[in-house]
Structure 1
Amino acid sequence: MNAKRTMLVIDDQHGIRMLMHKTFTEMGFNVLLAENGRKGITLFTEASPDIVLLDIKFPGGLDGIETLQELMTLNPRAKVIMMTSYEDHYEECMALGAVDYLEKPFDLEDLKERVERYSASGVQ
């Protein structure tokens, strides 16, 4: 079994994707990037990532809520951390199966701790 953990980042903001790629690659993750929900679902299906960081708002196409629903349909045990500037979706995301919810702007060290906890411990 490959010991390298895989992370999928689904966010329409290029800067966020690049920051997540740099940060989590340095932590030993294989980081996959998607700029929208459709591409994210495709990568999720192909790679079965250990953890997903998912934004809520995307221009056009699927939004983060719809993407979360699809990911949870594909794998109800998926570990998805929602990242958003909108606090009004917390209850809906958690009810749909997200393991955590962070509001942007978030503290990078806090995110790293949460990712480590969910990806390493088997927390559902």
Structure 2
Amino acid sequence: MSVKKTMLVIDDQYGIRLFLSKVFAEEGFEVHLARHGRQGIELFNETAPDIVLLDIKIPGMDGIEILKELMMLNSHAKVIMMTSYEDHYDECMELGAADYLQKPFDLEDLKERIYASLSVAELQ
């Protein structure tokens, strides 16, 4: 029996959170959702997710600040940044992001990146 993987989605857009929650729950993940940085950091501490999907453009505490804090809490955290902007790639990768994905993203590409980050060889 395999252990259920946990995912944390931090995105201020309700539709994105709802979509990712539905898709990855069907993939067998336990999905936690946060609409802003503080909530995301609290859930990160409470749930110790296997993977985090993090938007960069979030009102208040932006994704770069959130990434810095997550990496201070766990330098081995697997965080995939999601954004409509290209200009933060180098900074995110230097801060320890596992991957960087532009919106709108292809769902199959996102799944592949998640499983690659989790070191799972095949999509299930």
Same fold (TM over 0.5): yes
| Greater helix share, structure number | 1
AA partner of residue 101 (structure 1): Y
What is the Cα deviation at residue 120 of structure 1? 4.1
2: CA distance between counterparts of 1:43 and 1:119?
19
What is the Cα deviation at residue 2 of structure 1? 7.0
2: CA distance between counterparts of 1:81 and 1:18?
17
Q: Which residue does the alignment assign to 2:66?
A: 67
2: CA distance between counterparts of 1:98 and 1:86?
15
Q: Which residue does the alignment assign to 1:54?
A: 54
Aligned residue for 1:88, secondary structure, equals coil
Gaps in structure 1 of 5+ consecutive residues: none
2: CA distance between counterparts of 1:41 and 1:23?
22
Aligned residue for 1:106, secondary structure, equals coil
CA-to-aligned-CA distance 1:72-116 (integer Å, 9 cap, x gap):
000000000000001000000000000100000010110011111
Gaps in structure 2 of 5+ consecutive residues: none
AA partner of residue 7 (structure 2): M
2: CA distance between counterparts of 1:22 and 1:65?
26
If the length of structure 1 is used for normalisation, what is the TM-score? Answer: 0.93
Equivalent residue runs for 1:4-19 within 5 Å: 4-19=4-19
2: CA distance between counterparts of 1:118 and 1:97?
12
AA partner of residue 18 (structure 1): L
- State the percentage of identical aligned residues: 68
What is the Cα deviation at residue 119 of structure 1? 2.0
Aligned residue for 2:22, secondary structure, equals helix
If the length of structure 2 is used for normalisation, what is the TM-score? Answer: 0.93
Query: How much is the aligned-residue C-alpha RMSD, in angstroms?
Result: 1.3
Equivalent residue runs for 1:65-104 within 5 Å: 65-104=64-103
What is the Cα deviation at residue 29 of structure 1? 0.1
2: CA distance between counterparts of 1:37 and 1:72?
13
Q: Which residue does the alignment assign to 2:22?
A: 22
The 1:26/1:65 distance shift into structure 2, 3 A limit, reads same
Q: Which residue does the alignment assign to 2:108?
A: 109
